[in-house]
Structure 1
Amino acid sequence: MPQMLALVILVLILYIGDVVAVRTKAWVPSVFVCAVLFLIGYWTFFPTDIVAVAGVPPVVATMMMFLLITNMGTLLSLQELKNQWRTIVIALSGVLGIIAILFTIGTLIFDFKTVVVAIPPLVGGIVSALIMSEGAKEAGLASLSVFAIVIYVMQGFAGYPITSIVLKKEGKRLLEKYRSGELTIKDAKNGVEVEKEQELKLFKYLPEKYNTEYFKFFRLALVGYLAYLVSTLLAPFVTVNALVLCLLFGIIAKSVGFLEKQPLQKANGFGFSIMALMLFIFDGLQKATPSMMLEILYPLIVCIILAVIGMYIFSFIIGKVLKVSKEMAFAVSLTALYGFPADYIITNEVIKSLTNDEKEKEVLTSHMLPPMLVGGFITVTIVSVILAGIFVGFL
């Protein structure tokens, strides 16, 4: 297949996802539609390497992840992280819910090793799925090796629509409070005044005309490289995912004035980066063949259902204790099923579907987006990798 034809097909799928999301007012998220279309494509006429042929091989996707996660770090100030401590507790409670339900009810239905392989990918990222897949392969458990990848690929099918539903309910609740005067933008920020966008303190004498797109890309890439460098220096002593450090370094770089807020958007590179990363995520569906899906369909569905039930129960309880609405608490815990960038995309789709008023969008964004981003980073980027490192020893 020619490169440009592959690119046209894949971008058309992303566009169809957007159109369906707009037409259904985010009741059917774009990421869900795209995942279905990719699956159909791989089962019919797509070459397995269509994403690489289109120009997004894994090495390019990795570059985009470094840039995007560092960029996302600039959205979260150190003060914001302190403000979001409730979100962190709720996200961790959702993970605990998955573990508790699968180790109790799950082990009554499936064998212990199936449950062990399922949990880290259910909590999030591709890294944890690969760790468990390789661990199962080395242990001679071929079917569980495949199961680890497929459960990571398919869990979003449950997470996307449920998240959209609960966020729409939360958004409507917030709009009612805002329109009745009960909620202000300050309240939506958890009582903390909106932080003025920091100037580039380290470059305050640099004329604006020299702060070009390339200079923004350079600084963003440099911060990402420093995160990678630190992760390699720490490797002999402790394993720290470089992408976790990208988030932390992005926060620090913004705080000290080395990066502005959202430099990737200001360098006009955000849209292309998101496109490349989304294509790479959907590329994982190439492994989900029809025969493989039939073989593991039952454990796949049951494990995902049990995980969602566990997340709901635990997040509901902790949300009550912390005085967070059950919808917001559940949505935060659901980020474990997909993480970034789906958490960012779904939240923005829901906000756009609820109102066209810019002030109302600002209120909804300030209330819903930070918890969703923090929840996704905590579960997918950090906790899932730690769990995989522990659980792989049980195989």
Structure 2
Amino acid sequence: MEPILAFSVVMLIWTIGEFISKKTKALVSMMLVASMIFLVGFAADLLPYDLIEKSGLLGIGNAVIGVIIVHLGTTMSLKDLKEQWRTFVIGSLTVVIMTIALFFVGNLIFDRNIAVAGTAAITGGTVNVLMVQDKAADIMKAGGDLGALSGYLLAVFPLLILNLKNLVGFLVTANILKKEALQVKQDYRDGKLEYVEEAAVADPTDNSTSILPDFLLTPYAKLFLLGATVYISSFLSQLTGGTINTFVIALLMGIILRHFKILKPSALSSTDSFGLLMISIMVIAFAPLADVVPSDLLSLVWPIIFYLITGVLMVFVAAYFIGRKVGYSGPLSIAVGMTTFFGFPGTMVLSKEAASVIGETKEEIAVIEQNILPIMVTAGFSTITITSVITGGLIVGLIIG
């Protein structure tokens, strides 16, 4: 297949996934739709096995994973995290507790590699899946034995969990947020809450948020700075002997460089490249699907069910008790914990949906959003963007071969 045709086919699959996601109000994620199309297409020989490689996106994705991670770090404001400290505590501690508990329990039921892959996927996002796949690929190249699952199945396993947990997370959290929205509406009607006029949204092209000279604030210069940050992160990771994953350091450096105004908030937002780079790194996760034999998937059914069910139960218990300790309601605490199942933009979509369904006037809708949306967005950052990358980077090193 010619590269341009392969590229066009991949973009078509993404377009279909995006269309269905919008029609279902993100209940069915774009990733889930794309996964199913790739899985069926490869298994039925409707898609060539080298489709993703031929598209050229695979090479781009492998090169820019770290760039995306640094960008995610620049979306974090230490000031905002300080103001939302209770949300951060609930989200982060929930992920840490889930990681420890699910790894040890999973290690008793399955083998270590399945436990690591399942735990990393259920507590994190695409980055965690890519870290598992990268580690599995390194072991296979060295001729290692990955145990109960072959290399490509160990790579596919966390991807399937990632896609299915989005659906589970949306279904559970949507109902929980509606309960919280009802309470917020009642508090507003009782005079316990007030409507606050919306503040102006900051212009992402405003260069006053950086201390760098203008020639380092062009799109090309920003990409250079992000790439250089990843390279430095890789060097620092090597100094630890690989104990601290490059992506973990890259995320922390993004947060720090934004704080000191070296990198702008949401560093990639004004480069016009974010969409293509995101597609490139997500395509990497789908590459192992080309090697999957449908009958092999049967061996993954039980581990997937285990991690989905146990993950939800862990969130309900851990997030509820932690949240009650710091003064959040039960439903809101659980909703914060559940963001580890989907993250942004699901956090925004579900918050706005709960407000529009429960609020009966424009002001009620606005008040509900003001009291739920900032918490949920911060929660997604605390679980998926920060804590899960750190915990995932640590436990992925436990994969043996």
* TM-score of the superposed pair, with normalisation by structure 2: 0.77
Query: CA 1:223–1:385 in 2, change beyond 3 Å: closer, same or farther?
Result: closer
Kindly state the Cα deviation for residue 212 of structure 1 after the two structures are TM-superposed: 2.5
Paired residue for 2:131? 127
The residue number in structure 1 matching 2:149 is 143
Q: 1:34 to 1:141 in 2, by over 3 A?
A: same
Cα deviation for residue 83 of structure 1 reads: 4.1
Q: Is the 8 A contact 2:339 2:347 kept in 1?
A: no
Deviation of 1:346 (Å) = 2.8
| C-alpha distance in structure 2 between counterparts of 1:322 and 1:380, whole Å | 21
Q: 1:162 to 1:251 in 2, by over 3 A?
A: same
| Shift in Å, 1:53 | 0.9
* Aligned twin of 1:227: 233
- TM-superposition CA deviations, 1:18-43 (whole Å, max 9, x none): 21122122222222222222211221
Is residue 314 from structure 1 mapped to residue 318 from structure 2 by the alignment? yes
* Deviation for aligned residue 1:290: 0.3
- 1:155 and 2:161 correspond: yes
For 1:50-76, what per-residue CA distance to the aligned partner results, in whole angstroms no more than 9, with x for missing partners?
A: 21211112x421333222211111111
CA RMSD between the two structures? 3.9
Partner of 2:10: 10
Pick closer, same or farther for the CA change 1:314–1:253 going to 2, 3 Å.
same
Report whether the alignment pairs 1:282 with 2:290.
Answer: no
Question: Is the counterpart of residue 295 in structure 1 residue 307 in structure 2?
Answer: no
Q: Is the 1:121–1:152 contact (alpha carbons within 8 Å) kept by the matching residues of 2?
A: yes
Amino acid at match of 2:51: I
Change beyond 3 A, Cα 1:200–1:326:
same
| 159-168 vs 123-132, greater mean Cα deviation | 123-132
Residues 1:377 and 2:385 aligned together: yes
Counterparts in 2 of 1:10 and 1:150: CA distance versus 1, 3 Å: same
- Measured in 1, the distance between the counterparts of 2:300 and 2:354 equals 38
Tell me how far apart the structure 2 counterparts of residues 330 and 284 of structure 1 sit (CA, whole Å): 34
Letter of the 1:152 counterpart: P
- Say whether the 8 Å CA contact 2:177–2:335 is kept in structure 1: no
Provide, for residues 201-247 of structure 1, a one-character-per-residue CA deviation record: whole Å limited to 9, x for no partner: 523xx45x884322232233233333223223x234x6221111221
Deviation (angstroms), 1:331? 5.0
Q: Displacement of 1:289 after TM fit?
A: 2.4
- State how 1:248-263 maps to structure 2 within 5 Å: 248-263=252-267
Q: CA separation in 2, counterparts of 1:182 and 1:12? A: 50
CA contact (8 A) 1:132 1:145 kept: yes
Q: Say if 1:36 and 1:201 are closer, same or farther in 2 by CA, change over 3 A.
A: closer
SS at match of 2:262: coil
Count of residues in Structure 1 that have an aligned counterpart in Structure 2? 378
Unaligned stretches of 5+ in structure 1? none
Equivalent positions of 1:60-75 (< 5 A) are 60-75=60-75
- Which of 372-381 and 7-16 deviates more? 372-381
State the distance in 1 between where 2:29 and 2:82 align.
Answer: 30
Deviation, structure 1 residue 166: 3.9
2:375 — aligned with what? 367
Tell me the percent identity: 24
- Output the TM-score relative to the length of structure 1: 0.78
Aligned residue in 1 for 2:38: 38
Match of 2:359 in 1: none
1:168 aligns with 2:174: yes
